[in-house]
């Protein structure tokens, strides 16, 4: 086992000390991290969304901040603001909550579109601009946002521009009865999160982010990715297909999944594995499709099943 695989597995196993029985969700979160991407976690309350983010930050010894999105939060609370210093006669920058490595944007759809828009620059360019001055955020930088899929009162739908900036959309789901019993026993005396220790450093993550880029992708597989994304734009039930940013995300996620599985080259199965988490939130369905209870996952699975798989020597 090479060092990259060892580090990735140790992070995942460490997070699993807190998040029981949800290895797939943990894997996808870590894959997004080494792809320098952000994650939208959409699930019902109480299944461990916040714990997942906290455990991930602790596992890599990264700075962590939680931003509770409410209707009264202001953009300056997030990006920071300038304050006039009477002693020096200059304006001084007071950093906002976004100046951290791992950011939990809790209930992101409960704040106004104006405040949501304050994340657009930092999610794409890893910087904030306050009063014409640009400030870089610390690296590695990752936003993990949560939202509740069943409550609509008091929420604001995320604009397409912001949704597209999320590298993946994942869900955790309810545990099985056996897993829930195990959770009760584990949490009987204390929260495992309080005892969690780092198993990697921020420098390890930044090295892995560079390692991912070196994974070889054959030209035929690049064309395969483009064809899958192109089909999302032509599908009769889709009103808005995936953007080129989605193609880039699928390309990078496939490289990361190959690296996680100990390979320095991508195979078609890597791409197929990443299609749903990377593209499902990037397509908008027509009203008729929603009335028929069709969902993006079904459409993507159909596209993957009918798209010819290239043969790579």
In this structure, are 138 and 277 located in the same domain?
Answer: no
232, containing H or E segment: helix 219-234
CA separation for the pair 294, 271 (Å, rounded)? 23
Chain centroid to Cα 303, Å, comes to 23
Question: Among 305, 290, 296, 258, which Cα is nearest to 277's?
Answer: 296
CA separation for the pair 58, 53 (Å, rounded)? 9
291, containing H or E segment: helix 287-291
Question: How much is the pLDDT for 111?
Answer: 86
In this structure, are 122 and 236 located in the same domain?
Answer: no
The pTM score is 0.91
1, pLDDT greater than 60: no
Q: By residue range, what is the domain housing residue 298?
A: 214-306
In this structure, are 21 and 54 located in the same domain?
Answer: yes
Question: How much is the pLDDT for 313?
Answer: 66
Question: How much is the pLDDT for 93?
Answer: 86
In this structure, are 49 and 159 located in the same domain?
Answer: yes
CATH code for the domain of 290: 1.10.8.80
CA separation for the pair 11, 194 (Å, rounded)? 16
Question: How much is the pLDDT for 125?
Answer: 93
Which residues 6+ apart lie within 8 Å of 285 measured at CB?
Answer: 237, 238, 239, 294, 295, 296, 299
Chain centroid to Cα 68, Å, comes to 17
Contact predicate 75/115, CB 8 Å: yes
In this structure, are 162 and 55 located in the same domain?
Answer: yes
C-alpha separations of 17 from 12, 64, 183, 196, 308 in Å: 9, 19, 10, 8, 40
C-alpha separations of 27 from 33, 134, 161 in Å: 10, 33, 26
In this structure, are 299 and 168 located in the same domain?
Answer: no
Residue 172 lies in a domain: yes
Model confidence pLDDT, tens digit, residues 163-204: 999 999 999 888 889 988 988 888 878 888 888 999 999 999
Question: How much is the pLDDT for 105?
Answer: 93
Residue 284 lies in a domain: yes
In this structure, are 187 and 218 located in the same domain?
Answer: no
Model confidence pLDDT, tens digit, residues 12-68: 999 999 898 899 999 999 999 999 999 999 888 788 888 999 999 999 999 999 999
CA separation for the pair 284, 187 (Å, rounded)? 40
Domain stops at, among 207, 232, 264: 207
* Residue 158 three-state SS: coil
User: What's the mean pLDDT in 108-123?
Assistant: 88
Residue 13 lies in a domain: yes
Question: How much is the pLDDT for 139?
Answer: 92
CATH code for the domain of 123: 3.40.50.300
In this structure, are 10 and 45 located in the same domain?
Answer: yes
192, containing H or E segment: helix 192-195
Residue 79 lies in a domain: no
292, pLDDT greater than 60: yes
Question: How much is the pLDDT for 102?
Answer: 95
Q: For a pLDDT cut of 90, what percent of the chain falls above it?
A: 61
In this structure, are 44 and 165 located in the same domain?
Answer: yes
Alpha helices (H) in 35-157, listed in sequence order: 49-59, 75-79, 113-117, 120-125
- Number of domains composing the chain: 2
In this structure, are 103 and 56 located in the same domain?
Answer: yes
pLDDT band at 253 (very low <50, low <70, confident <90, very high): very high
pLDDT band at 262 (very low <50, low <70, confident <90, very high): very high
220, pLDDT greater than 90: yes
Q: Which residue has the higher pLDDT, 156 or 105?
A: 105
Question: How much is the pLDDT for 249?
Answer: 96
Residue 83 lies in a domain: no
Query: What value does the CA radius of gyration of the chain take, rounded to a whole number of Å?
Result: 20
Domain stops at, among 174, 207, 240: 207
301, pLDDT greater than 90: yes
Domain stops at, among 173, 207, 241: 207
6, pLDDT greater than 80: yes
Question: How much is the pLDDT for 10?
Answer: 96
98, pLDDT greater than 90: yes
Residue 77 lies in a domain: no
Residue 86 lies in a domain: no
In this structure, are 220 and 294 located in the same domain?
Answer: yes
In this structure, are 133 and 230 located in the same domain?
Answer: no
Question: How much is the pLDDT for 152?
Answer: 63
Residue 156 lies in a domain: yes
């Amino acid at each position: 086992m090479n060092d990259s695989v060892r580090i990735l597995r140790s992070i995942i196993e460490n997070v699993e000390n807190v998040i029981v029985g949800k290895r797939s969700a943990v894997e996808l979160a870590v894959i997004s991290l080494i792809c320098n991407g952000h994650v939208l976690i959409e699930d019902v309350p109480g299944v461990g969304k916040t714990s997942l983010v906290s455990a991930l930050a602790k596992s890599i010894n990264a700075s962590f901040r939680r931003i509770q999105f409410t209707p009264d939060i202001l953009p300056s609370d997030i990006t920071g603001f300038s304050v006039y210093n009477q002693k020096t006669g200059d304006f001084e920058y007071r950093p906002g909550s976004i100046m951290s490595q791992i950011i939990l944007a809790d209930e992101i759809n409960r704040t106004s579109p104006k405040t949501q828009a304050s994340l657009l620059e930092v999610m794409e360019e890893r910087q904030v601009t306050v009063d014409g001055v640009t400030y870089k955020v610390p690296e590695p930088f990752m936003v993990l946002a949560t939202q509740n899929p069943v409550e609509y009162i008091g929420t604001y739908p995320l604009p397409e521009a912001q949704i597209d900036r999320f590298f993946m959309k994942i869900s955790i789901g309810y545990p099985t009865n056996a897993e829930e019993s195990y959770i009760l026993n584990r949490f009987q005396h204390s929260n495992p999160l309080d005892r969690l220790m780092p198993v990697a450093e921020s420098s390890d993550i930044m090295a892995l982010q560079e390692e991912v880029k070196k994974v070889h992708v054959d030209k035929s597989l690049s064309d395969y990715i483009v064809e899958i994304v192109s089909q999302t734009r032509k599908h009769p039930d889709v009103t808005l297909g995936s953007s080129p940013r989605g193609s880039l995300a699928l390309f990078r996620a496939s490289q990361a999944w190959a690296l996680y599985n100990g390979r320095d080259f991508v195979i078609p199965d890597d791409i197929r594995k990443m299609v749903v988490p990377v593209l499902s939130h990037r397509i908008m369905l027509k009203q008729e499709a929603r009335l028929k209870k069709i969902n993006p996952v079904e459409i993507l699975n159909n596209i993957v099943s009918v798209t010819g798989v290239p043969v790579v020597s």
